[in-house]
Amino acid sequence: MQNWLPQDLSKQLSTAPEAIQLLDVREPWEYRLVHLENSHLVPLSQLTYGLNNLNKALPVVVICHHGIRSAHACYLLERLGFQAINLTGGIDRWAREVDPSLPIY
């Protein structure tokens, strides 16, 4: 599993957003509070059922609140043949270091 800092993801999104896919594994209420544009929501508890919308040819950057659930999701995704990247610090760190206009919860 790779780990990216929010700054790594920000750079990727500004240079080649089509080269990755964003997977948010938080709960729907969390996603409604704050999420990254073009991220796909599949709660961790439903991940095995929501894989049909993911492309195995593209790396998957996995997002949660602080990076714990996304790390668990990355392990599962890798076992299933995906290239998974954990967003270190999750959406919380993204909001603090990249986009302070986003709400923190």
Which positions ≥6 away from 32 have C-beta within 8 Å?
none
Q: How far is CA 32 from the centre of its chain?
A: 15
74 is catalytic: no
Amino acid code (one letter) for 57: A
**Which entry of 25, 44, 47, 64 is annotated as an active-site residue?**
64
Quote the DSSP letter at residue 46.
G
Q: SS3 of 93, please?
A: helix
**Closest by alpha carbon to 44, among 78, 21, 73?**
73
| Residues annotated as catalytic (active site), given as ranges | 64
